[in-house]
Structure 1
Amino acid sequence: MIDSFHYKFLKPDKPISDFVESIGMFHNPSDEAKEVVVMPDGRIDLFFSLSASEPFHVTLIGLETAPETRSILPHALTFVISFKPLAVEYILQTSIADLLNTAKDVGPGFWDFNANDLQNFDVFYQKAFKKITELLPQEIDERKRQLFKLIYSSKGQMSVTELSQKVCWSSRQINRYFNQQLGLSLKAYCTVLRFRASLEHIAEGQLFPELKFTDQTHFIKEIKKFSGVAPKELSKNKNDRFVLLSVLKQK
């Protein structure tokens, strides 16, 4: 819990864990808006939301490459499915290249969800799990599955050349796939994942580079690029503006 701001995130069970990183919710029950900073995290989010001033709606949010300040409306309730990139092609079955640093409304009836589904998190989780399970593909290009497995396990630290060699897929073809499906290059995506991995260290009070940064200056520059503030200020997380960092601190 962050003051009156509530959140909950669960890692999904198999067989959807190759495609979904988490299913969660956040709730602002107060009469005042909650200001938060959204930082790039390498996930594609599907928001199911309603508030005192807005009806139920479903929003698909693409990948982010820069921090953005947003206001969570008073009495806002949002349930969210956070997808891994592999889900774009195989579960969502649509490119999100045009959604880089932006979002779109996909209609209140998406996947047959409605406002009543936001009354109970466990019920929402089970409905989302069932729907995604129904959409699971019979076959997956193993190069892509292995590629994302390596990207995640290395926390974005493997070079494009090394990844290409390990999955036997040319870097040119990989970058074409990334740009067509996600709207950014493989290298750019890996940089985002490295930043996210650094957040785990910052959440533990480690304000020096633990990953493959050139030096402390490079580390600070990268953190400021994706969060808007230096590591020390980010670690303080004043007013719990950086919700992702607050979640990591409670793990």
Structure 2
Amino acid sequence: MNNNFYYKAVEPDESLADFVENIGMFHNPSDQAMEVVLMPDGRIDLFFMKTESEPFEITLIGLENVPEQQIIPANALAFKISFKPLGAEYLLQTSIADILNSAKVLPNDFWEFTADDVKDFEAFHSKIAKKLKELLPAKIDERKRKLFKLVYESNGEIKIQQLSEEIFWSSREINRYFNKQFGLSLNAFCKILRFKASLEHIAKGRLFPELNFTDQTHFIKEIKKFSGVVPSELLKNKDDRFILLSVLKQQ
């Protein structure tokens, strides 16, 4: 990865696993801004960020289904929580349908976090983990928990009809839930997870479909849809523009 960019992510403990993918940070210590491409990854990110030139800001970023060019400012430091969809519903307690491929700025004292909390990652991690555990729901719709378990375990390759039969929830109601809560269909979300799983193969130089794509042409088309480039160009990852791929290469 770009020597001027530092990224770290820590998986949550088991009590948060249904709701949170990781708690992490990134730092661009350079005096130069970085141009990057953010690719869909099925996560909802809550950023606590500050730079030398901009005030402290807390931003919630919704799900994405298209690649997006972004600028990471010079001297930017950000701590973040990457939520799974159930985390948005049960911990953030909000629909994110209105911020598909978008974001919204939250109050600067959201969850009683301030600029002083964006200094030491270990202290932030401890504080945010405690806060998230306080927000854990007493009850959760078990159909939803099982739905996401099956979707994640299959890398999005499970058919909606099979899901419907296994969790006793009609496909129409499932899609109504997804569109109202997350701003896209279950099928669209599953394609994002399949793309993300394919990135792990591309990061290792395997530029052919290993998941349930119709053929090589379909594979290339889907990768380009979510990344903006064909698999061979993605693998080159010139200037580490594709941060998610750079992280996967390190694993």
**Which category of TM-score, normalised to the shorter sequence, fits these structures?**
over 0.9
Segments of structure 1 that go 5 or more residues without pairing to the other structure are: none
In the alignment, what sits opposite 2:209?
A: 209
For residues 135-168 of structure 1, give each alpha carbon's deviation from its aligned partner in whole angstroms, at most 9, with x where no partner exists: 0000111000000000000000001111111111
- The structural deviation recorded for 1:107 is 1.4
Q: Which amino acid aligns with 1:245?
A: L
State the distance in 2 between where 1:159 and 1:202 align. 24
State the distance in 2 between where 1:231 and 1:42 align. 19
Name the SS for the 2:14 alignment partner. Answer: coil
In the alignment, what sits opposite 1:50?
A: 50
Name the SS for the 2:16 alignment partner. Answer: coil
Q: Which amino acid aligns with 1:26?
A: F
Q: Which amino acid aligns with 2:49?
A: S
Q: Which amino acid aligns with 2:168?
A: C
Q: Which amino acid aligns with 1:102?
A: S
In the alignment, what sits opposite 2:107?
A: 107
In the alignment, what sits opposite 1:161?
A: 161
- The structural deviation recorded for 1:29 is 0.6
Report matched runs for 1:52-131 at 5 Å: 52-131=52-131
- The structural deviation recorded for 1:2 is 2.5
State the distance in 1 between where 2:61 and 2:14 align. 24
TM-score, structure 2 as length reference = 0.99
State the distance in 2 between where 1:191 and 1:75 align. 35
Segments of structure 2 that go 5 or more residues without pairing to the other structure are: none
Name the SS for the 2:208 alignment partner. Answer: coil
In the alignment, what sits opposite 1:239?
A: 239
Q: Which amino acid aligns with 1:212?
A: N
In the alignment, what sits opposite 1:173?
A: 173
For residues 29-75 of structure 1, give each alpha carbon's deviation from its aligned partner in whole angstroms, at most 9, with x where no partner exists: 11100111000000000000000111111000000010001010000
State the distance in 2 between where 1:180 and 1:131 align. 26
State the distance in 1 between where 2:35 and 2:13 align. 32
> Structure 1 runs of 4+ off > 2 angstroms?
none
TM-score, structure 1 as length reference = 0.99
In the alignment, what sits opposite 2:135?
A: 135
- The Cα RMSD (Å) is 0.7
Single out whichever of 164-173 and 217-226 deviates more from structure 2.
164-173
Please tell me whether residue 228 in structure 1 is matched to residue 228 in structure 2. yes
Name the SS for the 1:126 alignment partner. Answer: helix
Count of aligned positions: 251
**Identity between Structure 1 and Structure 2 (%):** 65
State the distance in 1 between where 2:53 and 2:171 align. 47
